[in-house]
Amino acid sequence: MEDLSLHILDVAENAINASASLITVEIEEREGEDLLVITICDNGKGMEPQALESALDPFYTTKEGKRIGLGLPFLAQAAREAGGDLEVRSAPGEGTEVRATFSLSHIDLKPLGDIAATLQTLMAGHPEVDFSFRYSGSDGEVVIDTRETGNGKA
Amino acid sequence: MSSTRERPEMAKLKIEDLKEIREKAARTRTLREGTGRARITVHMGTCGIAAGARKVMTALLEEVESRNLTDVIVTTSGCAGLCSREPMATVELLEQPPVKYADLDANRIVEILEKHVLGGEIVEAYSLGIGSERTH
């Protein structure tokens, strides 16, 4: 993956496949702590403990007929290469939270990339799902919520 | 040694980026209301995304929007199992079997929209086969 916006799209697509009706994406730049935090939460079906345990194993997937699942391992790798880490919390019926941290000053931190294109792909491609996006950084804050802008579920 | 000035500026969103995000999100309102005689599914698995599926999706959405095609549904799905042929998309016209296209890019998807979705003629140069896939 070239940039972080593509990783976000990938994890959010997982959430859609897990039947989520609400997906929240938060990007937080904490300059003082030299930290970039990306959190993707969904209210989908969640993971069984065994699936959760194997979620970062590239040779684990829940999909039938496939042997690899690279989405989360790729994001974990991107985080670790930039001085951060990845945590996944999930329980059946309670959705999933993926939290990736990065060191803002790390030379190997991938660019954020085209966040607008990621949001457009998700929002336009899945009108049945609500999306809530929040970005906060030194240049300001943006909050976009399909439940508030009226382009949520009918 | 690592002052904040040395870090890659692209890791930050600038004011114009935030503006673009707001504008693009607002424009999806119409796209989210579409009902249709045609459905185009861009395969957005990890393999598809890494191969450029989002560019295909963006080009398609912009074309659908600029032509005001309110009866064309554009959506995404997971990997269909042919990772090496990504980016891929499936075109379904009302009462016709789905057609799968492989090795796409922004120009090819627009050509498919014009010739197949609007013109009714399958673009054989990029088509892979006819039929449904299991996406997950």
Split at pLDDT 50, 70, 90, the class of B79 is confident
pLDDT(B127) > 90: yes
The residue among A8, A13, A14 with the most chain B CBs within 10 A of its CB, best to mutate, is A13
User: Which residues on chain A are in Cβ contact (under 8 Å) with B22?
Assistant: 142, 144
The pTM for the full model equals: 0.87
Per the CB < 8 Å rule, is A146 touching B32? yes
Per the CB < 8 Å rule, is B4 touching A137? no
Residue B10: count of CB within 10 angstroms of its CB:
15
pLDDT(B112) > 80: yes
pLDDT at B118: 94
Average pLDDT over residues A2-10: 96
- A95 against A62, higher pLDDT: A95
- Amino acid code (one letter) for A128: E
Split at pLDDT 50, 70, 90, the class of B2 is very low
User: What are the tens digits of pLDDT across the range A88-144?
Assistant: 999 999 999 999 999 999 999 999 999 999 999 999 899 889 999 999 998 888 899
- The verdict on A30 touching B (C-beta cutoff 8 Å) is no
Encode burial over A113-134: b for 16+ CB neighbours within 10 A, e otherwise.
Answer: bbbbbbbbbbbbbbbebbbbbe
| Cα of B22 to nearest chain A Cα, Å | 7
Which among B91, B100, B77 has a CA at the least distance from the CA of B36? B91
Q: How many residues does chain A have?
A: 154
User: What are the tens digits of pLDDT across the range B21-73?
Assistant: 777 777 776 667 766 789 999 999 999 999 999 999 999 999 998 998 888 88
User: What are the tens digits of pLDDT across the range A14-48?
Assistant: 999 999 999 999 999 999 999 999 999 999 999 99
Interface of B with A in 35-94 (CB under 8 A): 42, 44-47, 49-50, 54-55, 57-58, 61, 74-76, 78-79, 81
Q: How many residues does chain B have?
A: 136
SS3 B99: strand
Split at pLDDT 50, 70, 90, the class of B5 is very low
* Residue A70 Rama label (left phi>0; alpha psi -120 to 50; beta): alpha
User: Which residues on chain B are in Cβ contact (under 8 Å) with A27?
Assistant: 13
* Residue A131 Rama label (left phi>0; alpha psi -120 to 50; beta): beta
- The verdict on B17 touching A (C-beta cutoff 8 Å) is yes
Residue A107: count of CB within 10 angstroms of its CB:
12
- Amino acid code (one letter) for B70: T
Highest-scoring range by mean pLDDT, A59-68, B45-54, B87-96, B125-134: B45-54
- State the ipTM, two decimals: 0.86
pLDDT at B8: 46
The alpha carbon of A131 is separated from its chain's Cα centroid by a whole number of angstroms, namely 12
The mean predicted confidence, pLDDT, of chain B is: 84
Rg (C-alpha) for chain A, rounded Å, is 15
| Cα of B53 to nearest chain A Cα, Å | 10
pLDDT at A86: 96
Host H or E run for residue B20: helix B15-31
